[in-house]
Amino acid sequence: MVTAVAIARAKPGQEEELGRRMMALITPTLAEPGCINYDLHRSNTDPAVWIFYENWRSQADLDAHMQTEHYKSFFSRANEVLAHVDAYFSSMMLPPGRSYRRC
């Protein structure tokens, strides 16, 4: 499993529009093979900050997501609303003999 966390900051005055555009990514992304979850969050203290928390079955599935039309379309116009984004990619570390499970 691969986890991606993207922390996006909207340009001033574009906070709601960035959120609207990010929300539009959820439904098509959840339909993609290998998408475990694709959760959008908004900062409780800074309304310009939006966070995607994503889990993918494999790196290949995440790579395929980044080639989808909805992903490429979002980023082709992101400069209109996005000040910057930081993305972090990680793999879950589990003790020997343990497998991933939800609480």
The answer to pTM > 0.85 is yes
pLDDT in tens, 30-50: 999 999 999 999 999 999 999
Non-local CB neighbours of 29 within 8 Å, separated by 6+ positions: 35, 38, 54, 65, 68, 70, 71
- pLDDT higher than threshold 70 for residue 103: no
Confidence of residue 102 (pLDDT cuts 50, 70, 90): low
Q: Across all residues in the chain, what is the average pLDDT?
A: 94
- pLDDT higher than threshold 80 for residue 98: no
